[in-house]
Amino acid sequence: MANPYNTQPTPPWQPTPPPAARPAPKWARKRYVLPALALALFLGVGIGAGDQGQTTNDAKPTAAKPQPTVTVTATATATATPEPEPAATVTATKTVKVTRTVTAQAEADTGSGSGSGSDNTYYANCSEARAAGAAPIHRGEPGYASHLDRDNDGVACDS
């Protein structure tokens, strides 16, 4: 196995190097791609044009006869329900018993005009005082009591 291009022969224990790989030329790639595209084109045209003269079973004639159709119309009728009558108005009343104790004393005619007698008017609560027409009651007036003056300002049953 002599190499005519080398001046020195290669020893038999050394394999010969493979030739350098060259890229394939561009025309070699087109050798497979272009015929494949042409084949696909011709097959597609052949399949598309293959059934030009045939008609399918579901084809309808162009001038079809008119046929009656069914139309369903639903009408809903609402019945008005009578409105219930309003409930009777209930008014709650409260009866307040007013007790007013007035002690009458016989006036002694001493000739001094109006006497400075003590008035023992007592109201259990402000409702009684308002019912008697005495509210508001100021300190020193008949009927004033500290239990009626909540804010201790000298005026009982003021609010």
φ, ψ at 148 (rounded to 5°): -90, -15
pLDDT at res. 10: 67
pLDDT at res. 7: 62
pLDDT at res. 112: 42
Alpha carbons 132 and 156: distance in angstroms, whole number: 14
Alpha carbons 148 and 125: distance in angstroms, whole number: 6
Number of other CB atoms surrounding residue 31 within 10 Å: 10
φ, ψ at 138 (rounded to 5°): -90, 155
pLDDT digit string, tens, across residues 28-85: 666 777 788 889 998 988 887 766 666 556 655 566 677 888 888 888 887 777 777 7
Q: What 8-state DSSP symbol labels residue 88?
A: P
pLDDT digit string, tens, across residues 70-122: 888 888 887 777 777 777 777 888 888 777 776 666 554 444 444 444 567 88
pLDDT at res. 105: 62
